[in-house]
Amino acid sequence: MISEKRLLFILATVQFCHIIDFMIIMPLGKTIMTEFAITPGQFAWVVSAYALAAFSGNLVSTVVIDRFDRRTALLFLFTGFTLGTLACAFAPSYGILLLLRFVTGLFGGTLGALVLAIVGDVIPLERRASAMGWVMTAFSAASVVGVPAGIWIAAEYGWHAPFLVTAAIAAAFVTLAFFTVPSMRGHLVEQTIVPSGDMDDVGRDPEAQLLQPTSALTRVVGPFRAIFADSNQRAALLFTMTLMLGHFTIIPFIAPYMQINIGFADKQVSLVYLIGGLLTVVLLPLFGKLADRYGRLRVFTMASVLALFSIFALTNLNTESIPLALLVTSCFFVVASGRNVPATTMITSVVRPENRGGFMSIRQSVNEAALFFSTVIAGFIITEGPDGKLEHYEVLGYFTIVMSVVAIFTARRIKAVA
């Protein structure tokens, strides 16, 4: 019998390490641009490389991940991620850093999909949003502890140091996971690969399963065809893409914008993540409880409407008041992160356990593809003005608002099946 609390804690620590590694590069943007003498557009590629690799890794894992014990997959990916993060600390040039971020993303991005698949497997739907809220507090914990600490460590010891510390923390949690995470093979009981038609009907019909081709090509293509043949799963993937484009496009340049345009000192920018993260640590579980009680779609819609106002305020911010800037960034973190709790729960519910790992992998691929394109779009739009300040941030805000509105309507097409 799996202890839910113990498992959720381990999954949260996995997410904590993965998110720190992904996020720490963004507040170090100004330092890295100076260290390697690169432009804002080139810095955007440092962020994009991770996302592009995660996209590629999740495409591969879509075919194979449901064939393994969840424990085995978790330990393998977590170990690879740890080694990749360690290597980033020793990158001697911009090109090598890009390569190492790509390698780390291959493991880290797939790891994120696996965590969500495990939550979907173990936690019943009626309690899943609450559990998802706890696991997703890892984002807030990373913001509260990891990112501010990383900024301070980088300021004191150089940009390499945060990667060394993150790798050491990840190594400790890999060891903990090895000794505490049990075998999870329930999804292997009924493996269903359907090349076309209604996957749920075939999954319940043993004769239909026997009639399915078993060639190597079918084993590779089958999971993709099964996913894209299901209109509900297609809607969930479209929802994933629009939500990410309506969320992440403005994030990579929050810290550089606060430093260069608003006037935050290098160490002061850690307050953006510290305060915003503290608030989300407290409120994310509340979003999960509200979603379980009042409905995931309703809570998502309300949080998304509030997010529209916070996005506009953040990307049009023009003040010398540090407290006002912190209020605006904190509101964005709370509502933008809060809407992701019911959204992620809705997405895990569109597929049955025996196919959930593959679906969550391709969902993560779509998520990372949207993340990649959002950072590329940001890199093309954001420019450096004659006075050294970043320009056109508000244009990114308008784009993000439009995508957020599209996500609200797309969410209404999703139906829960498990």
Percent of the chain with pLDDT over 90: 29
At 74, the amino acid letter reads: L
CA–CA distances in Å: residue 145 to residues 17, 153, 281: 11, 12, 11
Range in 47-61, 184-198, 298-312 the model is least confident about? 184-198
Q: What is the pLDDT of residues 142-159, one digit of tens each?
A: 766 777 788 788 888 888
Q: Cα–chain-centroid distance for residue 211?
A: 38
pLDDT value of residue 411:
94
- Percent of the chain at pLDDT exceeding 70: 88
Q: Which amino acid is at 290?
A: L
* pLDDT 10s digits, 330-368: 999 999 888 988 998 898 888 877 677 678 777 877 877
pLDDT digits (tens, 9 = 90+) for 36-76: 888 877 888 888 888 788 888 777 776 677 777 888 888 99
Mean pLDDT is highest, among 11-25, 185-199, 361-375, for 11-25
Q: How far apart are CA 240 and CA 362, in angstroms?
A: 11
213 pLDDT above the threshold of 70: no
* Pairing of β 390-391 and β 383-384: antiparallel
Is residue 309's pLDDT more than 90?
yes
Question: Among residues 106, 83, 87, 107, which one has the least CA distance to residue 97?
Answer: 87
Residue 219: what pLDDT? Answer: 59
- Rounded to whole angstroms, the Cα distance separating 184 from 121 reads 9
Higher pLDDT: 369 or 186? It is 369
Tens-place pLDDT, residues 78-92 = 999 999 999 999 988
Model pLDDT, residue 8: 83
Total-model pTM: 0.68
